[in-house]
Structure 1
């Protein structure tokens, strides 16, 4: 079963995303604090990290870049979600595999998650 780690400091948003993805057959773990990310990745071994950009004390773009720079996590696709304006995103260079802007339709979210996962599998093979 494909594992997705949802990182969002808005508990209700993380919970809804978890429910939507679980209904699609994914195994989902959610965390609401960026400090929990490393231990969660080590324990859960996600196939995808779905993360908000504006987190508690950190910026998801910086966290994404750290994940991509670390050889032990660079293979994990990272999909960012945000309520920021598209023009604000580029202020920090980011190596995310995809970005979705809030508000979004959950069907579109699921389709984008599946697309990112398919792309990651093709790259590994």
Structure 2
């Protein structure tokens, strides 16, 4: 069973994403604080990270870039989610494997997750 880590500082968004992915038989854990990201990666060992761009303490694009240059985590696909416009989201270059814009269709989320994990 593939494991997915969801990082979103909005509890309701994190819960909704978690529920949708669990319905697809993924093992999902969610966190709401970016400070817990590294520790959770080390303990949970996710196959995919779904991360919001706008976070409590930081920017998901920058966190993604840190993960992608770290040899311990660079192999983990990262799917960024955001309510930003595409032009705003691209102002900070990032190494994410994909991005999805809110509001999004949960089928589109499931498709992207499945593609990134397999």
TM-score normalised by structure 2 residue count? 0.99
Q: 1:15 and 2:15 equivalent? A: yes
Task: Look up the match of 1:50.
Answer: 50
Distance 1:116 1:76 in 2: 9
Counterpart CA distance in 2 for 1:83 and 1:89 is: 9
* Paired position in structure 1 for 2:61: 61
Structure 1 position 57, deviation (Å): 1.3
Considering fraction of residues, name the structure with more strand. 2
Q: Give the Cα–Cα distance (whole angstroms) in 2 for the partners of residues 106 and 44 of structure 1.
A: 24
Q: Which stretches in structure 2 are left out of the alignment for 5+ residues?
A: none
1:116 Cα deviation from its structure 2 partner: 1.3
* Deviation of 1:90 (Å): 1.5
Q: What CA deviation, in whole Å up to 9, does each residue of 1:6-45 have, x standing for no partner?
A: 0000000100100100000000000000001011000000
Any idea what the Cα deviations from partners look like across 1:29-87, whole Å, max 9, x if unmatched? 00000001011000000000000000001000000000000000000000000000000
1:105-124 counterparts in 2 under 5 A?
Answer: 105-118=105-118
Residues 87-115 of structure 1 show CA distances to partners (whole Å, capped at 9, x for unaligned) of 01121110000000000011110011101
Runs of 5+ consecutive residues of structure 1 not aligned to the other structure: 119-125
Question: Is the helix fraction higher in 1 or 2?
Answer: 1
CA RMSD across the alignment? 0.5
TM-score relative to the length of structure 1: 0.93
